[in-house]
Chain A
Amino acid sequence: MLIDAEQAFAQQSEHALIERVKSGDQAAYATLYELHVKRVYSLCLRLLADKEHAEDATQEVFVQLWHKIANFDGRSQFSTWLHSVTSNIAISYIRKHKSWFQKVVSFEQSGMDEQSAADCDGFNGLDKLVLRLPERARMVFVLHAIEGYRHEEIASMLDMAVGSSKSQFHRARQLLKEWYENE
């Protein structure tokens, strides 16, 4: 009961904060940023597997959020909406920063979907393994297993077939299992 009350209070104060941000209050926006930056950065890092790119994408999320917060109608939880915004921006970020060759030739055609060269130092447990996954498998795994998206949603977000999303997820699990057992 106490937890429910705390949650309700937190939601109410966040709602008030969002209303202040909508009216252009930058101090309120700084508070909102503090509340969510770790969650946004974690998702960007897991999707992009690169600290520098994750930092850039996180900043892009908060810049876009400032401009688009009026679109948040309060029908869903703010954190859910923000995660969806973050996922879309991180995916766009990956598309924008691919080399011209990767943009023109798909991964499947080029055979470039090798293990990520991410710097995994400083990470433990599952994150350390996830960051090593090849790009597509990693993105599907993060969106499905960690963020809870359905394969149909992922297929639409990543512009792939539903079957591809499922097979990339299976591949990710296999690789993670193999690496975990050989650690």
Chain B
Amino acid sequence: MSKPEFEQFLNDSLNHKQDISPDKDLWPGVERAIATGQPEQTEKPNHGWNKLAAVAACCIAALLTVQLFVGQGEPNSMMAMSDYFTKQKQGLLVQYQNQPALTDNWQQQLKELEEAESAIKQALENEPENPALLQMLSQVYQQQLDLINKVHAPKWQTI
């Protein structure tokens, strides 16, 4: 028996799509994660705003810095940017030092981003004012700040 034309196969497949079961029982993990919290309406009204404000402040500061350093292309842009972000990062790490992280592997993720930072800095040694590299460096710095904020002050997306 010959197989149907592609269009026929596609239409039949889309009209009769089947759900797939996970191999594992995922409920125990979900149950553990929600055991400590109630649905959001029971949270303190101001709980998220302070964290949100901290994240927003970081983002604005980062944006201004990128504009300042990348836009003007001043000498030692990399050094100035590094100094600024190191202070931001240290500030966040101190701020969250007594707060439990949401995931176990965030330090590993941070390490990966720090490796990226080193690789870009190495490339910048040959081309200190390359705007694409400076942009990449600023993005990697921003990702580090986002990661630290996210694992310590998780903000659920609007759903």
Assess the B24–A38 pair: CB atoms within 8 A.
no
Contact status A146-B14, CB under 8 Å: yes
What DSSP secondary structure best describes chain A's contact surface? helix
B139 touches A88 (CB 8 A): no
B29 contacts the other chain (CB 8 A): yes
A67 touches B6 (CB 8 A): no
How far is it, in angstroms, between the C-alpha of A29 and the C-alpha of B37 when the chains are bound?
13
Say yes or no: is B74 at the interface (Cβ < 8 Å to chain A).
no
Interface positions, chain B 105-159, Cβ under 8 Å from A, are: 112-113, 115-116, 120, 136, 139-140, 143, 156-159
Residues A70 and B27 in contact in the complex (CB < 8 Å), given A41-B22, A100-B113, A103-B139:
no
A104-B140 CB under 8 A given contacts A26-B34, A64-B156, A176-B10: yes
What's the least CB distance linking A111 to chain B, in Å? 16
A39 at the interface (CB under 8 A from B): yes
Query: Per-position contact with A for B11-27: 1 when CB-CB < 8 Å, else 0?
Result: 00110011111111011
Cβ B156 vs Cβ A37 within 8 A: no
**Bound complex: CA of A84 vs CA of B158, how far in Å?**
11
Q: Which residue of B lies closest to A86 (CB)?
A: B159
Q: How many residues of B contact A (CB 8 A)?
A: 40
Contact assessment for A30 and B41 in the assembled complex, using a CB-CB cutoff below 8 Å: no
Q: Is B30 an interface residue (CB 8 A)?
A: yes
When each residue 64-94 of chain A gets 1 if its CB lies under 8 Å from chain B and 0 otherwise, what string results?
A: 1111111100000000010011001100100
Answer whether A99 and B30 are a contact pair too, CB < 8 Å, given A39-B19, A68-B40, A126-B10: no
**Residues on B facing A (Cβ under 8 Å):** 6, 9-10, 13-14, 17-24, 26-27, 29-31, 33-35, 37-42, 112-113, 115-116, 120, 136, 139-140, 143, 156-159
| Residues of A that sit less than 8 Å from B by CB | 21-24, 26, 29-30, 33, 37-39, 41-42, 45, 51, 54-55, 58-59, 62-71, 81, 84-85, 88-89, 92, 99-101, 103-105, 123, 125-127, 145-146, 173, 176-177, 180-181
